[in-house]
Amino acid sequence: MAAAAVQTYTPASYDHRAVDAMTDVDVASQRLQELNGLAHMKSCIRDVFMKHGVDKAFGVGLLHRHYDVAPNEKIIELGPVSSPWVVGDDEVVTGGSVLPHTWRVFDGELKPTEFKFVPQRDVSNTNRPVFPEAFVKELIGVLQETGLDEVLGVSLYEAGDPDNETMEVTYGRSSIVIPSTGLIGSKVIGPQSFDAFQAAWTFSKKQGEEVVAHHGICAAMGVDGVTARHGICAVRSAEDGIKAQHGICAVKAADDGMNARHGICAVRSAEDGIKAQHGICLVKAADDGMNARHGICAVRSC
């Protein structure tokens, strides 16, 4: 007898309100503790993932704000950098497509919150996530029942490489993944002395029936005026067998008037009103009257 076809669920369209409603990471982490979130992840939430066989497809993450995002912007990952792009509703953009990799429950539906740029040459070979309808329905119910629908979201599964520790540092409105400096207790090693928070989890079986949560770390506000907004962070082994899979991020305002906006770059407002929008580049009025417009980047007319 042929097995019954699995009914699939199509997430709703992008809704800026779903992103705008998120809190900063320290607030989100505190709320997770108040709602006994880790205990629920090790029981009823884990059970939903394992029951529907999606533990190798999706994980969960702490819902929190990176920075302010305008209604016409989406947070898009390109290589090691995530930043807001002004794009429309269509997934097709110049040079490729933007595909969602993170979702949350909002208005009773699963809605995307973050995206990844996929070059045109790779789009046809990219595996699109498949959401079993029964899984989504049950997960939404559990998250709403526990109050965690405003605290935890769903993300594509990434096993990570335990030998390649990284952290995500946010400058202005760009987050860049760089090699990890490690942790001492709950503090990130470095001059800013950031507080670290767990921010991402996945579920996987070891030998036997044991299920282990894999999770990430995120940095919070430091005493030196540096504000951490986001973390998909450093990999480290914990005493309880839980492993961190992602990075650390922080937001810092520069004293020289330069604000990191995108990629490995900074944007300075030039006297001629021209602003660089993308790339590995810097815009600055030169003494010879020439203005640099772009490196590997695009210039949008205001």
CB within 8 Å of 168: residues ≥ 6 apart: 82, 175, 176, 177, 178, 230, 231, 232, 233, 246, 247, 248, 249
**What is residue 230's predicted lDDT score, i.e. its pLDDT?**
35
pLDDT of residue 298: 46
pLDDT at 204: 72
What integer pLDDT is reported at residue 28 of this predicted model?
94
Bridge partners, residue 267, by sequence: 259
What CA–CA distances, in Å, run from 54 to 12, 161, 202, 241? Answer: 19, 20, 10, 22
Q: Could you tell me which of 27, 32, 20 has the C-alpha nearest to residue 200?
A: 32
Q: pTM for the whole thing?
A: 0.71
What is the per-residue pLDDT for 196? 72
Does residue 217 contact residue 233 with C-beta atoms inside 8 Å?
Answer: yes
Q: Tokens for 237?
A: 């082994």
Q: Domain-by-domain residue ranges, the chain?
A: 8-219, 226-299
Cβ atoms < 10 Å from Cβ of 84: 20
Scored b (16 or more CB within 10 A) or e, 15-31 reads beebbeebbbbbebbeb
Q: Find residue 155's DSSP bridge partners.
A: 59, 102
The rounded distance, in Å, linking the Cα atoms of 289 and 24 is 42
Q: What is the pLDDT along the chain (302 residues), one digit of tens a residue?
A: 556 688 999 999 999 999 999 998 889 999 999 999 999 998 999 999 999 999 999 999 999 988 899 999 999 999 999 999 999 999 999 999 999 999 999 999 999 999 999 999 999 999 999 999 999 999 999 999 999 999 999 999 876 655 566 677 777 898 877 777 777 777 777 776 677 777 888 887 764 444 454 445 555 434 333 333 333 333 333 333 333 333 333 333 333 333 333 333 333 334 444 343 433 333 344 444 444 443 444 444 44
pLDDT reported for residue 165: 64
State residue 297's pLDDT score: 43
Contacts of 180 (CB under 8 A, 6+ apart): 165, 166, 167, 233, 234, 235, 236, 247, 248
Alpha helices (H) along 8-124: 16-20, 25-34, 37-40, 46-51, 120-123
